[in-house]
Amino acid sequence: MLMNNDGTALQNLDGSIAVVTGAAQGLGLGIVEQLARDGATTIIADLQLEKAETEANRLRTDGLEVHAAHLDITDSAVVTTFFERVANEHGQLDILVNNAGVGQKVTPIVELSDEEWNRVLNATLTGAFYCCRAAGGIMERQEYGCIVNVASINGQNPAALVAAYNVAKAGIISLTKTLALELAAYGVRVNAVSPGPVYTEFNRRNMAQRCETLNITEDEMIERIRSAIPLGRWGEPTDIARGIAFLCSPQASWITGEVLRVSGGMEGVSATPPKRQKN
């Protein structure tokens, strides 16, 4: 827990009930740990239940209040039932962090299949909409709560060869701003965080494809990205998690409808790909 100079909690989430989607690994797991360390009872909501339970057990041995639950965010009815159950079991729902999503196969728009477009949009944007709608309805009834959606710098400054992902994250930003307006009268705050490059399994898979496209090694790609970040290093899950925890905290009580870029100063990747070889 972050502390003030007098020893009191800086981001005190004691008594809060938080749900983090897609949180069995990587960035989502870092968010879970940060919220739990700041005092929230935190639920790892993920398709990978076994992995989620393993991580929840590990964090509980560290004295943190963390639970695991299965959730398929692409199933509207399942999402609605899940959030109602959380609110009924715990008596409230204070925080939702929409982190779940998928990356896109690196490919130009002119070769992007219907299946890949729909896969990415369904899991990354439509799933977040289902969760926002379900949790937002509960928070509207409570007249309090906080939603933080994980966007991306790609949603603000699109990168080539991942159009579906760019569009999904831009949609997350628009969804955030719209919901913030609609829930403001009920005291519910809705914000987004746009992470820059964080070296997780999610990014490693994407980089492997880009390395193949550009005919460079993974080490060369890692260094190319690092050198493009003004603060000179890749991000860590804790960097993003701390920004999210701040937006969930009482210290951010007059912040809604905002997009916080946590990227070491990086605004986006604007490299133009070369001509492709035609068969």
Q: With contact defined as beta carbons under 8 Å apart, do 198 and 242 qualify? A: no
What's the average model confidence in pLDDT over 42-62? Answer: 98
- The catalytic position among 144, 165, 186, 199 is 165
Of 125, 129, 246, 128, give the one whose Cα is nearest residue 189. 246
In this prediction, residue 271 carries a pLDDT of 73
Q: How confident is the model at residue 157 (pLDDT cuts 50, 70, 90)?
A: very high
Q: Is the torsion defined by CA of 268, 11, 95, 48 positive or negative?
A: positive
More confident: 9 or 11 = 11
Cα radius of gyration rounded to whole Å, the chain:
19
Region of residue 147 (phi > 0: left; psi between -120 and 50: alpha; otherwise: beta): beta
Q: What are the domain boundaries of the chain?
A: 17-262
Give the range among 7-11, 45-49, 63-67 with minimum mean pLDDT: 7-11
What's the average model confidence in pLDDT over 163-173? Answer: 98
Of 5, 100, 4, give the one whose Cα is nearest residue 43. 100
Number of Cβ within 10 Å of residue 110's Cβ equals: 7
What's the average model confidence in pLDDT over 250-270? Answer: 93
Most confident by average pLDDT, 44-48, 103-107, 212-216: 44-48
DSSP for residue 229:
S
In this prediction, residue 269 carries a pLDDT of 76
Of 112, 40, 246, 260, give the one whose Cα is nearest residue 172. 260
In whole angstroms, give the CA distance from residue 224 to residue 215. 13
Average of per-residue pLDDT values in the chain: 91
Residue 144 CB contacts under 8 Å (≥ 6 apart), including other chains: 94, 186, 187, 188
Q: How confident is the model at residue 220 (pLDDT cuts 50, 70, 90)?
A: confident
In this prediction, residue 222 carries a pLDDT of 81
Q: With contact defined as beta carbons under 8 Å apart, do 218 and 210 qualify? A: no
What's the average model confidence in pLDDT over 232-260? Answer: 96
Q: How confident is the model at residue 6 (pLDDT cuts 50, 70, 90)?
A: very low
Rounded to 10°, the helix 163-183/114-121 angle is 30
φ, ψ at 156 (rounded to 5°): -105, -35
Rounded to 10°, the helix 49-60/26-37 angle is 30
**Annotation marks residue 165 as catalytic:** yes
In this prediction, residue 108 carries a pLDDT of 94
Number of Cβ within 10 Å of residue 40's Cβ equals: 28
Residue-by-residue DSSP string for 182-211: HHGGGTEEEEEEEE--B-SHHHHHHHHHHH
Q: List pLDDT tens digits, range 78-111.
A: 999 999 999 999 999 999 999 999 999 999 999 9
Q: 116-137 burial by CB neighbour count: b if 16+ within 10 A, else e?
A: ebebbbebbbbbbbbbbebbbb
Q: With contact defined as beta carbons under 8 Å apart, do 17 and 44 qualify? A: no
Q: Which fold has domain 17-262?
A: Rossmann fold (3.40.50)
